[in-house]
Structure 1
Amino acid sequence: MTRFLLVVPPLVGHVNPLVAVANELSGRGHQVAWAGHADQIHRLAGADATAFDCAMPSDGLSRPPGLTGPAAFRFLWAEFFVPLADLMAPGIDAAIDAFRPDVILTDQHAVAGALVAERRGIPYATSATTSAELIDPLAGMPKVGAWLSELLGALRGRIGDPARTADPRFSPYGVIAFTGRELLGDAPLPNERVHLVGPSIAARAGHGDFPWEWLDREPAPDLGTVLVSLGTANADAGGRFLTEAVTALDRLGDRVRAVVVDPGRTLHEASVPVPPNVLVREHVPQLDLLERVDAVVCHAGHNTVCETLWHGLPLVLAPIRDDQPIVARQVADAGAAVRVRFSRVDATRLGAAIETVLDASSGHRAAAEALGRSFRAAGGHVAAAGHLEQLAARHSDTHADADTHADVDADTSTDTYAAAHTGTRPHVPEPH
């Protein structure tokens, strides 16, 4: 039996993929605990989950509207991820003292997990819930890469081991990436221990009040059924887009029906008339719905995209910020999506994009089905649990090997950080 500690930020899309992994590890007889926002962890992973609470930002992830590109990247790291790491570090130390984990699995953006693990001499793996940073998006922006390296170096001086220099976003012990090579193309990976396991698909706590009879009341329309969602973190930005989407669906009439997710109730507050072929809900059981729809319109959030492709469904993608433009480009390049401009698309263009992906002759459905087959073959949460067991087996005597770990890290991590500045990917040998 091995004790695994999962470290997560207070972001639903970063917690959900690990719920299935945690359940799989528990089912294999291991002990699993979490460190993060305890209330959120209990809501997503279950009330009986062992969760160690960490301090969190008082206002969550709040940022100026309209912030995009390098400015948005800088803001996200300087104003959220790094302050979050400073806040979480004491709680992670306390969780280690209480739970005594053999291995830590830490989210790529909960970097306190990596830095505290290296200081405490505990082997750790990275959970990468987006494909965007695996392809080194800063390769063409060396000044931004150098800025991030300096920011993370200062953070390491406060909560980690100042003698180490490895990039805390990519553990040299292993990276569990919930994506597939088909989306990444031939881009080099951060190191040879990146495991592409595809999306983590498993049952989640649902919304028992969803009116399934609305979908069952009559045969599906000629073109099909569409799910429209902008995710859980974009309620503040989606009013105009959702209005255009409802207008587009209204014009398509009885040829298409749609479930539109509106957690901020923006359509209601704007008194947007909802046509009979559209159902608006604040929350939906997304995985269950994906089994009943024919296409998805979304913001190119990585989890939603990969869950949709896992089901073999094409997409219309309207990326807003962060990693979403990169993910949208990857899916469009793979032939499984039509990309539209979130801030400028109107009902006419959006309706045309929906018609295109629903048209079997366009090839988008065939491309999505091919991606779905590859994702399912990658193994998801089952494969992730297997890789974590292998890591634990290789490092069962962590404390005895702590000096060796430090030597390997010191030898390889300088090259890893230099790669962030140059866009190259170094060889990182397996820690012993």
Structure 2
Amino acid sequence: MRVLFCAVPAYGHLLPLAPLIEAALADGHQAAVLTSGDMRPAVEDELAAGVQLLAAGPTAIEFTAEAARRTGTDVMRPAPEVVGEVFGACRLELGGAESVERARDWAPDLVIAEYYDTTGPLVAAALGIPWHQAGIGPAVPPELAELIGTSAARYHREAGIVPEPPTTYLDPWPEELQEPGWSSPVPPLPVRGRAHRRPEGREAPQRGFATADRLTALVTLGTVFSDPQVLDEFVAAVSSRPLNLRVTLGMAHGAGPNAARADEVRDSGAEIHYVPFAPLDDLLDGAGLVVGAGGSGTVLGALSRGIPLVLCPQGADQPTNAARAAAAGVAVVVDSPAGIAAAIERVLSDPSYAARAAAVAAELSTRPAPADVLRALTGSPEPVA
């Protein structure tokens, strides 16, 4: 079977699909990713060997800039209406036709699209094939999903295409962190969520700390919100305690304000290791605390390991993720870096945060593995010969 995976061109949208892509290839299926061409490094470095890139459509910078031009607003901290425009009309108008053309040439049998992606439903309708929606965080609020759908519908009318609802919703998000009372409008299929890891043999082991027997904290702003000043404020707050700090620099690769940072030891005794982008699974090795902005990948990855969090949201979906993590008792949330030090003290002095995080990890571990879910979607109970 030929399985097409569709994602918004951003690491936080593409990488959650990696386990399903790996499972498809391991079972002998052909797999391709439909997203913009600037995601080639992510496809080649972070996904399983053998997956094809079908490069089509605008980059994230291009369609968010168009949305900002149309609405005159900050798309990093947008109103819901702007989010609808970003992922709906703007992205489709700039790349919908090209996406359908590339997909038609590849001739998939099945589409799996992450839930902010609107090209997958378009392709499935144009080609007359089934599709499934894959969650990457808490379910999109119904009002936001409606805004994205309404915006996308403008393009659908012009293209003469009427997308069908997905067959199933693949849900990796812990039940405890979903909005109370939420239920999927289509049949849900739980899937075991985890931190992103590279295919076997391409791991990125972390450097050891001089004092290996004390707590290691991962400090991360994710792949988008990598402002150096904000990162410095996070680090200053966390390093006020004698901890081991592993600080990820986001997507700064060899250039930019975060690129050249030397490891250091602060007056408090905190030892700080700065690292460029690496799979979260590697960054979490040995960590007992995560201090971050609250991206869905960070929250899900930490909880899959049973690690509690201190969160200071910076934008996008982070406030929602952080609020649900706080309500579940696995995180303390602050509204500025000035509150991080006190929040760390609270998490480390109250064992209930670690206990709740461990309970979430235990629940996630009972869910079907990505390989089992992929076989359910493809109708292949055993690997394809």
What is the TM-score normalised by the length of structure 2? 0.83
Q: Deviations over 1:314-338 (max 9, x none)?
A: 0011122222111111111111000
CA–CA separation in structure 1 for the residues paired with 2:74 and 2:103? 39
Structure with the higher helix share, 1 or 2: 1
Residue 301 of structure 2, aligned match among 276, 298, 307: 307
CA–CA separation in structure 2 for the residues paired with 1:46 and 1:386? 17
CA–CA separation in structure 1 for the residues paired with 2:196 and 2:259? 32
Q: Could you tell me which residue of structure 2 aligns to residue 317 of structure 1?
A: 311
Shift of the 101–269 alpha-carbon distance from structure 1 to 2, 3 Å rule, reads closer
**Structure 1 unaligned blocks of 5 or more:** 139-143, 394-432
CA–CA separation in structure 2 for the residues paired with 1:145 and 1:306? 21
CA–CA separation in structure 2 for the residues paired with 1:117 and 1:286? 31
CA–CA separation in structure 1 for the residues paired with 2:35 and 2:126? 19
Q: Could you tell me which residue of structure 1 aligns to residue 249 of structure 2?
A: 262
Q: Secondary structure at 1:364's aligned position in 2?
A: helix
Aligned sequence identity (%) = 22
Counterpart contact for 2:308–2:357, Cα < 8 Å:
yes
Q: Could you tell me which residue of structure 2 aligns to residue 410 of structure 1?
A: none
1:298 matches 2:292? yes
Q: Superposition pairs for residues 200-349 of structure 1, below 5 Å?
A: 200-201=194-195, 203-204=197-198, 212-213=207-208, 215=209, 217-221=210-214, 224-235=215-226, 238-252=227-241, 254=242, 256-263=243-250, 264=252, 266=257, 275=266, 277-341=271-335, 344-346=336-338, 349=339
1:357 matches 2:347? yes
RMSD: 3.1
Shift of the 67–21 alpha-carbon distance from structure 1 to 2, 3 Å rule, reads closer
C-alpha deviation, 1:182, in angstroms: 2.0
Q: Could you tell me which residue of structure 2 aligns to residue 412 of structure 1?
A: none
Q: Secondary structure at 1:363's aligned position in 2?
A: helix
Residue 104 of structure 2, aligned match among 94, 97, 100: 97
Q: Superposition pairs for residues 20-169 of structure 1, below 5 Å?
A: 20-38=19-37, 39=40, 40-46=42-48, 48-57=50-59, 59-60=61-62, 61=64, 71-79=78-86, 81-133=88-140, 135-136=141-142, 138=143, 148-159=148-159, 161-162=161-162
Q: Superposition pairs for residues 173-192 of structure 1, below 5 Å?
A: 173-184=167-178, 186-192=180-186
Q: Secondary structure at 2:61's aligned position in 1?
A: coil
Shift of the 81–147 alpha-carbon distance from structure 1 to 2, 3 Å rule, reads closer
C-alpha deviation, 1:185, in angstroms: 5.1
1:193 matches 2:187? yes
Q: Could you tell me which residue of structure 1 aligns to residue 374 of structure 2?
A: 385
Shift of the 210–72 alpha-carbon distance from structure 1 to 2, 3 Å rule, reads farther
Q: Secondary structure at 1:118's aligned position in 2?
A: helix
Q: Could you tell me which residue of structure 2 aligns to residue 9 of structure 1?
A: 8
Counterpart contact for 2:246–2:283, Cα < 8 Å:
no
> Residue type matched to 1:129 in 2?
I
Counterpart contact for 1:291–1:311, Cα < 8 Å:
no
> Residue type matched to 1:194 in 2?
P
Q: Secondary structure at 1:258's aligned position in 2?
A: strand
Q: Could you tell me which residue of structure 2 aligns to residue 368 of structure 1?
A: 357
Shift of the 98–78 alpha-carbon distance from structure 1 to 2, 3 Å rule, reads same
Q: Secondary structure at 1:6's aligned position in 2?
A: strand
**Structure 2 unaligned blocks of 5 or more:** none
Counterpart contact for 1:180–1:196, Cα < 8 Å:
no
CA–CA separation in structure 2 for the residues paired with 1:79 and 1:59? 10
CA–CA separation in structure 1 for the residues paired with 2:186 and 2:274? 45
Shift of the 28–172 alpha-carbon distance from structure 1 to 2, 3 Å rule, reads same
What is the TM-score normalised by the length of structure 1? 0.75
Q: Deviations over 1:338-397 (max 9, x none)?
A: 0011xx331xx21111122223x341000000000111111342343133224x89xxxx
CA–CA separation in structure 1 for the residues paired with 2:362 and 2:325? 15
Q: Which has the higher contact order (CA 8 A, sep 6+)?
A: 1
